[in-house]
């Protein structure tokens, strides 16, 4: 499938009815995943909230994992070495293990597995990997999902502003700095990684109100401020956070380029913002004349590691 068609399949992906069974009670969730697979856990944890959720993007799981832990391993390829290492540890600790993957080693370990379609870049399969978490662990009305599907289909048509931003970013070689806040904290990280992976440009994300406690002074006083392109995502869920954003801009002289959200519920808004990040990072690759699909260095690194 062409890269752009992979991006375009996102509205369909979130209609997936896949889910896993909860076999027994749990009092915490650990989601293990790297990169485009791990981001699924981060997005989910910001939407959930019914128990502690820790996302592990590393080789080792927390000491506390035990039989009361719901352990969800997400690896699109099914062969991610960090994720496979964590599953082995989770099994030794007796955790309840579920798997989301398109195949690979992970699909052969005998755990209940949600199989997602193969042949895509992991970062383009976010909807397929997120849906089973929403379906299994959150009670979301089908009408809300249908509404999200509708909203997401409008993003590409509305993306001329995103294309223009991509041009502003690339024309003088600026590094995007995405400012997130509830409910877009994980989405800001997703945008950063999409600029990295699709656009092959460095990118930064930070969070309001935390930003005010450390980045306010350097946003005014640091050399190099002019090398960044600051982006704010939609409207923060709290008015006082929005006030912080306006005052920060006022005090530092930094202009935050705002990206509009679509939809009416929090889930719809978050999904729409994620999808806008897919397009803007895709446009960056196109403007730079690079292949957004290219992951050659990561493949080379994996082969040198093994």
Residues 4-33 that bind a second copy (CB under 8 A): 27-28
CA distance 49 to 56: 17
Q: Smallest gap, in angstroms, from Cβ of residue 124 to a second copy? A: 14
Interacting residue with a second copy among 34, 114, 129, 231 (CB under 8 A): 34
Active site residue 115: no
Task: Determine if 252 is a binding residue for a second copy (CB under 8 A).
Answer: yes
Site for a second copy in 222-241 (CB under 8 A): 222-225, 227-228, 238, 240-241
Selected catalytic residue, list 197, 215, 261, 275: 197
Asked if 163 interacts with a second copy (CB under 8 A), we say no
**List 89, 136, 287, 294, residue binding a second copy (CB under 8 A):** 294
Stretch that binds a second copy, among 103-111, 160-168, 218-226, 257-265 (CB under 8 A): 218-226
Size of the site for a second copy (CB under 8 A): 72
Helix (H, G, I), strand (E, B) or coil at 63: coil
CB 173 within 8 A of CB 224: no
Nearer CB in complex with a second copy: 15/287: 287
Residues 6+ apart with CB under 8 A from 257: 165, 168, 229, 230, 231, 232
- Cα Rg, the chain, nearest whole Å: 19
Distance separating alpha carbons of residues 163 and 165, to the nearest angstrom: 5
Q: Which stretch binds a second copy (CB under 8 A): 125-133, 263-271, 272-280, 293-301?
A: 293-301
Q: Which of 1, 52, 146, 164 binds a second copy (CB under 8 A)?
A: 52
Exactly one of 8, 98, 149, 244 binds a second copy (CB under 8 A); that residue is 244
Task: Pick the binder of a second copy from 2, 24, 25, 49 (CB under 8 A).
Answer: 49
What is the closest distance, in whole angstroms, from the C-beta atom of residue 289 to a second copy in the complex?
11
Burial class of 270 by CB neighbour count within 10 A (0 to 12, 13 to 18, 19+) = buried
Q: How many helices (H) and strands (E) does the chain have?
A: 13, 9
- Structure token pair of residue 299: 């493949």
| Residue 230 DSSP class | E
**DSSP per-residue string spanning 107-125:** GGS-SEEEE---SS-GGGG
Catalytic residue among 161, 163, 200, 302: 302
DSSP-derived secondary structure letter, 246: H
Place of tokens 């000491």: 63
In whole angstroms, what separates CA 23 from the centre of its chain?
Answer: 27
Backbone dihedral region of 200: left (phi > 0), alpha (psi from -120 to 50 degrees) or beta? left
Token pair recorded at residue 234: 């939609």
What's the closest the beta carbon of residue 190 comes to a second copy, in angstroms? 10
Active site residue 21: no
- Chain residues 55-114 in contact with a second copy, contact rule CB under 8 A: 57-60, 62-64, 82
Residue 11 C-beta: closest distance to a second copy, Å: 24
CA distance 182 to 214: 18
Instruction: Using alpha carbons, select from 182, 207, 138, 198 the residue that is nearest to residue 270.
Output: 182
Stretch that binds a second copy, among 95-103, 108-116, 146-154, 169-177 (CB under 8 A): 169-177
Stretch of 94-102, 109-117, 129-137, 206-214 contacting a second copy, by CB under 8 A? 206-214
Please identify every residue annotated as catalytic: 197, 213, 302
């Amino acid at each position: 499938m062409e890269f752009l068609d992979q991006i375009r399949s996102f509205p369909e992906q979130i209609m997936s009815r896949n889910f896993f069974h909860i076999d027994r009670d749990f009092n915490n969730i650990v989601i293990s995943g790297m990169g485009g697979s791990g981001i699924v856990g981060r997005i989910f944890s910001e939407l959930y909230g019914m128990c502690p959720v820790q996302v592990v993007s590393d080789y080792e799981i927390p000491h506390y994992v035990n039989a009361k832990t719901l352990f969800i391993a997400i690896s699109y390829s099914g062969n991610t070495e960090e994720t496979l290492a964590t599953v082995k540890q989770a099994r030794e600790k007796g955790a309840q293990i579920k798997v989301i993957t398109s195949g690979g080693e992970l699909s052969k370990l005998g755990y209940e597995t949600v199989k997602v379609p193969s042949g895509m870049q992991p970062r383009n399969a976010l909807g397929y990997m997120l849906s089973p978490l929403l379906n299994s662990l959150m009670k979301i009305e089908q009408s809300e999902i249908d509404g999200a599907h509708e909203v997401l289909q409008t993003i590409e048509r509305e993306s001329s502003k995103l294309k223009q931003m991509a041009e502003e970013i690339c024309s003088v070689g600026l590094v995007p700095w995405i400012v997130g806040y509830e409910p877009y904290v994980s989405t800001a990280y997703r945008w950063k990684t999409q600029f990295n992976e699709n656009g092959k440009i460095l990118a930064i994300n930070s969070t309001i109100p935390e930003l005010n406690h450390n980045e306010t002074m350097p946003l005014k006083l640091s050399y190099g401020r002019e090398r960044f392109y600051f982006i704010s995502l939609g409207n923060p869920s709290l008015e006082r956070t929005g006030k912080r954003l306006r005052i920060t801009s006022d005090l530092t002289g930094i202009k935050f380029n705002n990206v509009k959200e679509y939809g009416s519920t929090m889930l719809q808004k978050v999904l729409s913002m994620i999808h806008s990040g897919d397009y803007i990072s895709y446009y960056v690759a196109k403007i730079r004349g690079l292949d957004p699909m290219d992951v050659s260095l990561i493949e080379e690194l994996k082969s040198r590691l093994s």
